Structure 1
Amino acid sequence: MAARIVVPREAPSLSRLSLLVLCLALSCCLGRGEESAVRVITTENFDDVSQGDWMLEFYAPWCPACKQFAKTWESFAEWAAAEKNGLRVGKVDVTTESALSGQFMVTHLPSIFHIHEGEVRGYSKSRTLEDLQLYVGEEEWKKKPALPWWRSPTAKHMKALGVTYWISQKGKELQTMLEKEYELPTYTVYVIIAVATIVVGLLLGGITVCFIEICIRMCSRKEATKKLPRKQEGPKPSPPPEQVGGASESSEQTDEPGEVPVSSKTAAGVVAESPNADKEKKTRKRKRNKVCKESMIV
């Protein structure tokens, strides 16, 4: 029986190790090079755009003009990163971000907008790299007025408009799914969408009415609290006992019949003399004198 000879394996040579290291380094470099300088903007990170300087592009993957402009936009983003002037470059895919396209009211592709601290301006010059660099580097955007508040994409009502665009896009996707996957007739799909629209409208209307009713009640309560009477002041201090006693004594006294009282006291104890007091005194003296004379004669 022949003996079996086992040949030991050779250790990897230095050239193989160096080749492996070189391949790893190249793969790392290629991986870093694939990272784009253009930031993808969605509804989730759109709030970042309202701060600082931005150049934003709206594109679609099926758009031929967008495909031709992609290299120029990438070069522009690399130039902005190298200049370190604070400018950031982003892009928005209108096929997936219909809400943002509705906010900006995009009518053609590609559409470019310049955003400076929340102020939005549309870019209308040629889409060459030189013009883009001049527009930002020479601050040519200052010569063009910003969009008004009612047209600004950062306004709340424009965000609500974007939501309606998103709902319409989802409705189209639902229609396509029902017709292709479930093979439903077109009129059936329209009936389903109409019923869903009515139900959603009723729910939103009910929520709105409840919200308005709550606001009205809160306002009425505030007005009612304002109209409530203020706290009454404490009782007035009573007059001194001397005045009270004098008033009671004067009230108990009665004059003779046919005579007019000389003075009377008010509720506060103040003496109020009558204007005919002197005449009354004289008449009483005369009567007394007559009575005395008659008694003397008798």
Structure 2
Amino acid sequence: MVEFYAPWCPACNALAPTWSDLSKRMRRKQLGVRTGAVDVTKSPGLSGRFVVTALPTIYHVKDGEFRQYKGPRDVDSMLGYIEEQRWKQTDPVPGWKAPNSLQMSLVAEFFKLSQALRNVHNMLMETYGLPTWGSYLIFAVGTIFLGALLGLLLVCIIDFLYPPRRPDKVFVSQAEADKLLEKKEEELINDDIVDDAEKDSDEEKNSPPDTSEDDDEKQVSEGGGDNERATEVRKRRPRKAD
């Protein structure tokens, strides 16, 4: 049986005499059960392995299986939990969350880091007399700098493992280059000729119909006395083809 406690926790301090009495009675009855207590302020990594989020927290450990005890915290209840093997009615912690798994080892390292940062925070305020906001500002600047450094390192690793593809260069002789240039110029000239032809065709389609000379003379003769002063016949509008 393992208890996780903290010196500043009132519930943990109230449980301390009961826990000591439980240990004595287990030894007296020779149940082969040992009790232990872990100070989370001194062993943050171990509390991280067990994901201790409330204090006090009690675990039952047997044959590599971990079960959290959630019953009453008096001596008789905890002693009956062992003697009557009521621990078999409690599901063990799943393998992915077991304290001895690899992922929980990583979680333990994060707990250690958080405790170290907390100690630095307390040192800045107590030893150097910095205000709380000053300590937070230092941590913010350090976090930004560290994040940028890690991002740069990650980009370098990705570029090293997966280098960007560069376009393949094709080398040609000067003669081939001149031929390609001439061919390109011919294509541009042909495109200009086709564009001009299409433009002329559109202008012819949109031009008004031409009137013949015979139609002009007929209009003059039919005009009678009113058109006697007309001495010139309207000239035919020249066509573009002319």
* TM-score scaled by length of structure 1: 0.47
Partner of 1:137: 83
Structure 1 residue 63: deviation in Å?
Answer: 1.9
- Which residue, out of 29, 47, 55, partners 1:109? 55
> Does residue 33 of structure 2 align to residue 87 of structure 1?
yes
Tell me, in whole angstroms, the C-alpha distance in 1 between the residues paired with 2:153 and 2:26.
47
2:24 alignment partner AA: E
Partner of 2:218: none
Structure 1 residue 64: deviation in Å?
Answer: 2.0
Structure 2 CA distance for partners of 1:63 and 1:187, relative to 1, 3 Å: closer
> Does residue 145 of structure 2 align to residue 193 of structure 1?
no
> Does residue 110 of structure 2 align to residue 159 of structure 1?
no
Tell me, in whole angstroms, the C-alpha distance in 1 between the residues paired with 2:153 and 2:66.
33
Q: Which has the higher contact order (CA 8 A, sep 6+)?
A: 2
Partner of 1:231: none
Further displaced range: 126-135 or 177-186: 177-186
Structure 2 CA distance for partners of 1:180 and 1:212, relative to 1, 3 Å: same
Equivalenced residues, count: 162
1:126 alignment partner AA: P
Tell me, in whole angstroms, the C-alpha distance in 2 between the residues paired with 1:208 and 1:117.
42
Structure 1 residue 196: deviation in Å?
Answer: 3.6
Tell me, in whole angstroms, the C-alpha distance in 2 between the residues paired with 1:145 and 1:104.
15
SS in 2 for 1:121: strand
Identity %: 40
How far does the alpha carbon of each residue in 1:198-218 deviate from its partner, in whole angstroms, 9 at most, with x for none?
A: 5655777788899999999xx
Tell me, in whole angstroms, the C-alpha distance in 2 between the residues paired with 1:215 and 1:79.
62
2:56 alignment partner AA: P
1:101 alignment partner AA: S
Tell me, in whole angstroms, the C-alpha distance in 2 between the residues paired with 1:56 and 1:72.
13
Partner of 2:21: 75
Structure 1 residue 62: deviation in Å?
Answer: 2.0
Structure 1 residue 154: deviation in Å?
Answer: 1.8
Structure 2 CA distance for partners of 1:187 and 1:65, relative to 1, 3 Å: closer
SS in 2 for 1:88: coil
Higher percent of residues as helix: 2
Structure 2 CA distance for partners of 1:185 and 1:62, relative to 1, 3 Å: closer
Unmatched segments (≥5 aa) in structure 2: 163-242
Structure 1 residue 108: deviation in Å?
Answer: 2.0
Tell me, in whole angstroms, the C-alpha distance in 2 between the residues paired with 1:88 and 1:204.
45
Structure 1 residue 97: deviation in Å?
Answer: 1.7
Tell me, in whole angstroms, the C-alpha distance in 1 between the residues paired with 2:84 and 2:29.
13
